[in-house]
């Protein structure tokens, strides 16, 4: 009679044990293919059908952190979100900027950068942070823009635009908003081609969520960073059609 295990896992190679008192040596190598299959059969028959893992509860962490991604943005505090007409105007202005970039891209790509502008290598993430944000902001010693270089952003290739955008958004995830970051993010979004690649889609949603998170902690509607935060959220949600992240009229 077949066991439950055999019912669930039928033998593909039905090799029967030999008759008589033949004994197999599991420690020695098989002498032929048939003996090898019989050794495998014998070893399997010696294994228990159910094995229970012995877990030491003391080794389990009492407090485990689970990172969950929230689909939407933090809701804006009352009075902090922009009107629908303001959002529509920003989308219109942004569309004009993008059209201007498209029209002049060939001209800009033919221009030679200033010899004093040393561009980082494409894979140099820290170099790009220093280049875009300036040494003082990169080192966290000041929020004043003294040596950042926002102008060359319009001359980047499609792959470089996305790469630098991802680097700056990653930097922004762990730091506060600064004006030069906003300038670069706006310029890079203006150069971002549609339809969006999956990685671009993920990055700009991450940007909008971070902006909304910082906005939710602002104490005053007069905060100098509020317009820029609202603008970035608006562009991601309204222009790039991430509608679930959009601010709704109050």
Interval 99-136: pLDDT, tens: 998 887 766 665 555 555 677 887 888 989 988 888 88
What would the mean pLDDT of 29-37 be, rounded to a whole number? Answer: 79
Read off the pLDDT band of 233 (50, 70, 90).
very high
**How far, CA to CA in Å, does 211 sit from each of 167, 170, 182?**
16, 13, 10
3-class DSSP state for residue 135? helix
Domains of the chain: 4-46 (no CATH), 84-111+118-245 (1.20.58.1070)
Q: Write out the DSSP string of 75-98.
A: PPPTTTSPPHHHHHHHHHHHHHHH
The residue with greater pLDDT, 59 or 40, is: 40
132/181 Cα distance (integer angstroms): 8
Read off the pLDDT band of 213 (50, 70, 90).
very high
The residue to which tokens 């959220």 are assigned: 233
Work out the angle between the directed axes of helices 226-234 and 179-191 (0-180°, nearest 10).
Answer: 20
Q: 241: alpha, beta or left, given left = phi > 0 and alpha = psi -120 to 50?
A: left
Helix (H) / strand (E) element for 33: namely: helix 33-46
**How far, CA to CA in Å, does 78 sit from each of 4, 30, 90, 95, 221?**
64, 79, 21, 28, 9
Read off the pLDDT band of 97 (50, 70, 90).
very high
168/185 Cα distance (integer angstroms): 8
What would the mean pLDDT of 210-219 be, rounded to a whole number? Answer: 95
**How far, CA to CA in Å, does 96 sit from each of 87, 93, 202?**
14, 5, 24
Read off the pLDDT band of 67 (50, 70, 90).
very low
238/246 Cα distance (integer angstroms): 7
Residue 234 has pLDDT above 70, yes or no: yes
**How far, CA to CA in Å, does 195 sit from each of 103, 118, 200, 240, 241?**
18, 31, 10, 9, 11
Question: Which span out of 28-32, 149-153, 207-211 was modeled with the highest average pLDDT?
Answer: 207-211
């Amino acid at each position: 009679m077949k066991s439950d295990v055999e019912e669930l896992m039928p033998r593909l190679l039905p090799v029967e044990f030999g008759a008589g008192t033949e004994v197999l040596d599991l420690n020695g190598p098989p002498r032929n293919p048939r003996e090898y299959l019989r050794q495998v059969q014998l070893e399997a028959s010696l294994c228990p059908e159910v094995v229970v893992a012995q877990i030491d509860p003391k080794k389990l962490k009492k407090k485990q952190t689970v990172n969950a991604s929230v689909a939407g943005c933090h809701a804006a505090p009352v009075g902090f979100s922009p009107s629908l007409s303001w959002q529509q105007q920003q989308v219109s202005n942004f569309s004009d900027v993008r059209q201007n970039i498209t029209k002049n891209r060939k001209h800009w790509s033919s221009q030679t950068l200033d010899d004093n502008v040393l561009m980082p290598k494409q894979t140099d993430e820290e170099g790009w942070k220093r280049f875009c944000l300036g040494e003082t902001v990169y080192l966290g010693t000041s929020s004043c823009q003294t040596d950042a270089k926002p102008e060359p952003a319009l001359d980047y290739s499609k792959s470089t635009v996305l790469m630098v955008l991802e680097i700056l958004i990653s930097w922004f995830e762990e730091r506060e908003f600064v004006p030069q970051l906003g300038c670069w993010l706006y310029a890079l979004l203006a150069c971002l081609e549609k339809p969006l690649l999956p990685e671009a889609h993920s990055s700009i949603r991450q940007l909008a969520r971070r902006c909304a998170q910082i906005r939710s902690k602002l104490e005053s509607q007069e905060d100098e960073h509020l317009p820029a935060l609202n603008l970035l959220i608006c562009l991601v949600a309204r222009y790039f059609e991430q509608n679930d992240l959009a601010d709704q009229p109050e």
